[in-house]
Structures are given as C-alpha cells and as structure tokens.
Structure 1
C-alpha cells in the first residue's frame, strides 16, 4: 500500500506543481475568474491519480480485493500529496512570482463593487486554504472511487 501511495501521490504532486505554477505564471494576463477555473481544473486533473492509485493497489498488490475503508484511506493519502503540491505552488506564486497578488485581488473585488473588508491573511494561510480545498475535493473523489472499485472477493 505504501509504495502505491508514494508512487501515485508523487505523480499527483508533480502534475499539480507543473500545471498550477504553469497556469498561474502563463495566465497572469487572464482575469481572476479564468484563473480560478483553471485552478479547479488543475486540482481535479491532479486528483485523477487517486482513482488510478486505488485501482492499481486493488489489481496489482492486493489480489483483486479492496475494502471501502482501504480505498478511502489510499485515496486520502494520495490526495494529501496532491494537496501539498498545490499548496506549495500557491505559496510560491504569492511570494515569488506575484507577491502583489493580494493587492491586485483586492482592487478587482473593489472594482466589481464589493464593499466589505477583504483581509490579507498572507501566503501561508492561503496555501493552507488551498491544501484543505484540494483535500475536500480529494475526499469526494476517494469516496466515489471507493464505491466504484471496492471488491470483497
């Protein structure tokens, strides 16, 4: 199980880093809504490795057997790798590539008529939020994958 988690988790982490940083760097001229959509697409694409990791474990390492619990555990651990990759990418983007991100975002929100307070929590907190967001999506994908792939032979 450990090898599967590390292998597929690393695939997800690398894809997340490359796509997320690449999209943010190359898409700096895109509006925030488009960047947000690209970000969610990146998260979901990176989390595809959850399904494939669970399937690999069932078929190649566990003689075709897989409990729901094992599948969810594997999925969540693979998701953690991907979430870590996206959190790192977000932190790098907001501290190195575009350190003015929060000010730019606040300006856009004000221009769209938002009158409330927009706190600047900082890059570390926002990276944590990205980690948790990916983990929530990863949980959903893990649950669906577990339902599809469980086999109690």
Structure 2
C-alpha cells in the first residue's frame, strides 16, 4: 500500500503544481471567476489519481480485493500529497509570481459591491486554506472511488 500511495501521490503532487501554476500564470488576464473555475478543475484533475491509485492497489497489489476502508485510506493519503502540491503552488504564486494577488482580489470584491470587512490574509494562510479545500474534495473523491472499486473475493 505504501508504494502505491507514494507513486500515485507523487503523480498528483506534480500534476497539481504544474497545472495550478500554469493556470495562474497564464490566466493572469482572466477575471477571478474564470481563474476560480480553472483552479477547481485543476484540483479535480489532480485528484483523479486517487481512483487510479485505489484501482492499481486492488488489481495489482492486493489480488483483486479492496475494502471500502482500505480504499478510503489510500485515497485520503494520496489526497494529502495532491493537497500539498496545490498549497505549495498557491504559496509560490501569491508570494513570488504575483505578490499583489490579494490587493487585486480585494479591489475586485469591492468593485462588485462587497462592503463587509475582507481579512488581510497572508500567503501562508491562503496556502493552508487551499490545502484544506483540496483535502475535503479529495475525501469526497476517495469515498466515491472506494465505493466504486471495493471488491471482496
């Protein structure tokens, strides 16, 4: 199980970093709504390695069997890798590539009529929020994948 988690976790980690930074860097001219959609697509595509990791474990490592619990555990562990990749990419983007991101985002929110207090978040906190967001989506994908792939002989 360990090798499967590391292998598919690293695939998700690398794909997350590449897609997330590419989407943010090349999407600088896009509005924030479009960037948000691209960001969520990046998360979901990177988290698809959960399904393939559970399937690989079931078919190639564990003699065609995987329980719901074991599949869920594999999926969550792979999610941690992917969430880490997106959090690192988000931190790099908001602290190195586009350090004015928060200022621009707050200005856009005010232009759209949001008058409530918008907190002044740092890059580290936003990276943590991204990590948690990806982990929650990963949990959902893990549960769905484990339900689909569970098999006892």
**Coarse TM-score class (shorter-chain normalised):** over 0.9
Structure 2 length-normalised TM: 0.99
Q: Distance in 2 between matches of 1:49 and 1:81?
A: 10
Is 2:112 aligned against 1:112? Answer: yes
Number of aligned residues: 153
Dislocated runs of 4+, deviation >6 Å: none
Q: Does 1:100 align with 2:61?
A: no
Could you tell me which runs of 5 or more consecutive residues in structure 2 were left unpaired when the two chains were aligned.
none
Q: Deviations over 1:23-72 (max 9, x none)?
A: 10000010000000000000000000000000000000000011110000
**CA distance in 2: counterparts of 1:120 and 1:39, whole angstroms:** 21
Q: Normalising to structure 1: TM-score of the pair?
A: 0.99
**1:131 matched residue in structure 2:** 131
Cα displacement (A) at 1:121: 1.7
Separation in structure 1 between the aligned mates of residue 30 and residue 120 of structure 2, nearest angstrom = 22
Q: Which residue in 1 is equivalent to 2:150?
A: 150
Q: How far apart are residue 120 of structure 1 and its match?
A: 1.2
> What whole-Å deviation, never above 9, does each CA across 1:93-151 have from its counterpart, x for those lacking one?
00000001110000000000110111112110100000000000000000000110001
2:37 aligned residue: 37
Counterpart position of 1:74: 74
